[in-house]
Amino acid sequence: MGRSPCCEKLGLKRGPWSKEEDDLLINCINKNGHPNWRALPKLAGLLRCGKSCRLRWTNYLRPDIKRGNFTPEEEDTIIKLHKVLGNRWSAIASRLPGRTDNEIKNIWHTRLKKKMSKSEAQETPDIQEETPEIQEETPEIQEETTETSKSEENLDIHSESENSNLDIIHLEPENFKDDSEITSPKINPEIQQQPSSSVHSSSSMSSSEDSCSKSMDQIMLNNLLEVDDDFWSEVLWAPVDDSNHNNDNNLDLSLISLEENYQINSSLNDNWFWDDLFSRSNELMLELPEL
Partner DNA sequence: AATATTTACAACCGCATGCTG
Partner DNA sequence: TCAGCATGCGGTTGTAAATAT
Element holding 231 (H helix, E strand): helix 229-237
The span from the CA of 62 to the CA of 54, in Å, is 10
CB of 217 to DNA, least distance (A): 30
Rule CB under 7 A: is residue 247 a binding residue for DNA?
no
C-beta of 49 vs 225, nearer to DNA: 49
HEC-encoded secondary structure of 79-146:
HHHHHHHCCCHHHHHCCCCCCCHHHHHHHHHHHHHHHHHHHHHHHHHHHHHHHHHHHHHCHHHHHHHC
Piece in contact with DNA (CB under 7 A), picked from 7-15, 211-219, 254-262, 267-275: 7-15
Piece in contact with DNA (CB under 7 A), picked from 34-42, 147-155, 165-173, 190-198: 34-42
Rule CB under 7 A: is residue 3 a binding residue for DNA?
yes
CB of 134 to DNA, least distance (A): 34
Piece in contact with DNA (CB under 7 A), picked from 2-10, 76-84, 167-175, 255-263: 2-10
In terms of Cα–Cα distance, which of 229, 197, 236 is closest to 214?
Answer: 197
Rule CB under 7 A: is residue 105 a binding residue for DNA?
yes
Q: State which amino acid sits at residue 81.
A: L
Task: Tell the burial category of 242 from Cβ atoms under 10 Å away from its Cβ (0-12, 13-18, 19+).
Answer: exposed
Rule CB under 7 A: is residue 52 a binding residue for DNA?
yes
Piece in contact with DNA (CB under 7 A), picked from 102-110, 181-189, 227-235, 269-277: 102-110
Task: Please provide residue 43's backbone torsions phi and psi, each rounded to the nearest 5 degrees.
Answer: -60, -40
Residues near DNA, by CB under 7 A? 1-4, 6, 9, 14-17, 34-39, 48, 50-52, 54-56, 58-60, 69, 87-91, 101-103, 105-107, 109-111, 114, 246
